[in-house]
A and B are shown apart, each in its own frame.
Chain A
Amino acid sequence: MEKYLYIALFAPLVSSLFSALFTATPKKTFTGIIASLLIFSAFVSSSILLTHILGGGEPIHVEMMTWMATGDLYIPFGFVVDEISVTMMMVVTLVSTVVHIYSIGYMDHDKGFNRFFSYLSAFVFSMMILVMSDNYAGLFIGWEGVGLCSWLLIGFWFHKESATWAANEAFIMNRIADLGMLVGLFLIYWNTGTLQYEGSFAAFAHLDTTTLSWIGIFLFIGAMGKSAQFPLHTWLADAMEGPTPVSALIHAATMVTAGVYLVVRSNELYSLIPHVGLFIASLGAFVAIFAASMALVNRDMKRVIAYSTLSQLGYMFAAAGLGAYWVALFHLMAHAFFKALLFLGAGNVMHAMHDELDPFKMGGLKKVMKWTYIMMTFASVALAGLFPLAGFFSKDTILEAAFAEHHFVIYSVLLFTAGLTAFYSFRLTALIFEGEERYKLFGIHPHEAYKYMLVAMSPLLILAIIAGAFRTTFFGMVEEILGAMEYHIHSHVTLWIMTIGTQVFVILAIMYAYKKYNNAKITVPDGTSAMENSFMYKLLLNQYYIPYAYEKYIVVPYREMSEVFWTHVDLKIVDASVDGIAGIIYNTGDRTSAMQSGNLSTMLKWMVAGLLGMLSLAVVFGLAVRYSDEILAILSGLGV
Chain B
Amino acid sequence: MVDHILSILIFFPVVAALFGVIVHKDSIRAYGIAVSVIEFALSLWLWFAFDGQSSGMQFMESIPLIPAFGINYTLGVDGISVFIIILSTFVTLIGIASLGEIKNLKNMIITLLVLQMTMSGVFAALDAIIFYVFWELSLVPMLYIIGAWGGPLRIYASIKFFLYTFAGSLVMLVGMLFMAYFYNQATGEWSFAILDWYRLILPENLQLWLFVAFFLGFAIKVPMFPFHTWLPYAHGQAPTIGSVILAAILLKMGTYAFIRFSLPLFPDASVFFMYPIAVIAIIMVIYTAMVAYGQKDIKQVIAYSSISHMGIIIIGTFALNVEGISGSVFLMLGHGVVAGALFFLVGVIYDRRHTKIMSEFGGLAHSMPRYATIFGVMMMASVGMPLTINFVGEFLSLLGFFKQSQILTLLAGVGIIVGAIYMLTAYKKLFFGEITNEENRNLPDINKRELVALIPLTFLAIWLGVYPKPVLDPINTSVESIVQLMHDKAQTAEAKRRIPSPLSQMTIPVSSIEEAH
Chain A interface (Cβ < 8 Å from any Cβ of B) = 23-24, 65-73, 137, 140-141, 144-145, 148, 151, 155, 158-159, 161, 164-165, 168, 171-172, 175-176, 178-179, 182-183, 185-187, 189-194, 199, 202-203, 206-207, 558-559, 561-563, 565-567, 569-570, 574-575, 578, 582
**B365 lies within 8 A of A183 (CB):** no
Chain B residue nearest to A163 in the complex (CB): B432
Complex contacts, A159 vs chain B, CB 8 Å: 363, 366, 432-434
Shortest B390–chain A CB gap in Å is 12
Interface centre among B291, B293, B480, by most chain A C-beta atoms within 10 angstroms, is B291
Evaluate whether A574 and B229 lie within 8 angstroms (CB atoms) in the complex, with A71-B322, A566-B295, A582-B163 already known: yes
Evaluate whether A206 and B513 lie within 8 angstroms (CB atoms) in the complex, with A161-B433, A562-B291 already known: yes
Shortest B302–chain A CB gap in Å is 15
Complex contacts, B369 vs chain A, CB 8 Å: 23-24
**A69 lies within 8 A of B469 (CB):** yes
Shortest A231–chain B CB gap in Å is 15
Fill in one digit per residue for B468-482: 1 if any A CB lies within 8 Å of its CB, else 0.
110011011001100
20 inter-chain pairs at a CB distance below 8 angstroms, sorted by A residue, are A67-B467, A67-B469, A68-B396, A69-B473, A70-B479, A71-B476, A73-B323, A140-B386, A144-B386, A158-B432, A168-B425, A168-B428, A172-B421, A175-B416, A179-B414, A183-B402, A183-B409, A189-B402, A566-B291, A566-B295
Chain B interface (Cβ < 8 Å from any Cβ of A) = 160, 163-164, 225-226, 228-230, 287, 290-291, 293-295, 321-323, 326-327, 363, 365-366, 369-370, 373, 380, 385-387, 392, 395-396, 398-400, 402-403, 406, 409-410, 413-414, 416-417, 420-421, 424-425, 428, 431-434, 466-469, 472-473, 475-476, 479-480, 502, 505-506, 508-510, 513-514, 517
Evaluate whether A566 and B294 lie within 8 angstroms (CB atoms) in the complex, with A69-B472, A168-B428 already known: yes
The CA of A202 and the CA of B479, in the complex, are separated in Å by 30
**A164 lies within 8 A of B432 (CB):** yes
Interface centre among B386, B392, B402, B517, by most chain A C-beta atoms within 10 angstroms, is B386
Complex contacts, A161 vs chain B, CB 8 Å: 432-433
Q: Which residue of A66, A73, A193, A561 contacts B396 across the interface (Cβ within 8 Å)?
A: A73
Shortest A349–chain B CB gap in Å is 27
**B425 lies within 8 A of A67 (CB):** no
Evaluate whether A203 and B475 lie within 8 angstroms (CB atoms) in the complex, with A179-B417, A565-B291, A565-B294 already known: no
The CA of A185 and the CA of B394, in the complex, are separated in Å by 14
The CA of A281 and the CA of B409, in the complex, are separated in Å by 29
**A183 lies within 8 A of B410 (CB):** yes
Complex contacts, A155 vs chain B, CB 8 Å: 432
13 additional A-B pairs beyond A67-B468, A562-B291, beta carbons within 8 Å, are A24-B369, A69-B476, A155-B432, A165-B428, A182-B413, A182-B416, A183-B406, A187-B406, A190-B402, A192-B510, A202-B510, A558-B290, A566-B295
Complex contacts, A570 vs chain B, CB 8 Å: 229, 291
**B416 lies within 8 A of A179 (CB):** yes
The CA of A158 and the CA of B366, in the complex, are separated in Å by 9
Evaluate whether A145 and B387 lie within 8 angstroms (CB atoms) in the complex, with A158-B431, A192-B510, A567-B294 already known: yes
The CA of A562 and the CA of B425, in the complex, are separated in Å by 13
Q: Which residue of B226, B290, B385, B468 contacts A574 across the interface (Cβ within 8 Å)?
A: B226
The CA of A45 and the CA of B297, in the complex, are separated in Å by 50
Shortest B355–chain A CB gap in Å is 19
Complex contacts, A148 vs chain B, CB 8 Å: 380, 385
Complex contacts, B326 vs chain A, CB 8 Å: 70-71
Chain A residue nearest to B384 in the complex (CB): A144
Complex contacts, A202 vs chain B, CB 8 Å: 510
Shortest A611–chain B CB gap in Å is 32
Q: Which residue of A168, A172, A183, A206 contacts B510 across the interface (Cβ within 8 Å)?
A: A206
Shortest A203–chain B CB gap in Å is 5
Shortest B332–chain A CB gap in Å is 14
The CA of A159 and the CA of B416, in the complex, are separated in Å by 27
Complex contacts, B480 vs chain A, CB 8 Å: 71
**B164 lies within 8 A of A578 (CB):** yes
Complex contacts, A569 vs chain B, CB 8 Å: 287, 291
The CA of A575 and the CA of B288, in the complex, are separated in Å by 13
**B370 lies within 8 A of A207 (CB):** no
Complex contacts, B321 vs chain A, CB 8 Å: 71
Chain B residue nearest to A155 in the complex (CB): B432
Shortest A267–chain B CB gap in Å is 20
Complex contacts, A71 vs chain B, CB 8 Å: 321-323, 326, 400, 476, 480, 502
Chain B residue nearest to A179 in the complex (CB): B413
Shortest B425–chain A CB gap in Å is 7
**A70 lies within 8 A of B385 (CB):** no
**A171 lies within 8 A of B424 (CB):** yes
Evaluate whether A203 and B513 lie within 8 angstroms (CB atoms) in the complex, with A71-B326, A182-B398, A567-B294 already known: yes
The CA of A191 and the CA of B514, in the complex, are separated in Å by 11
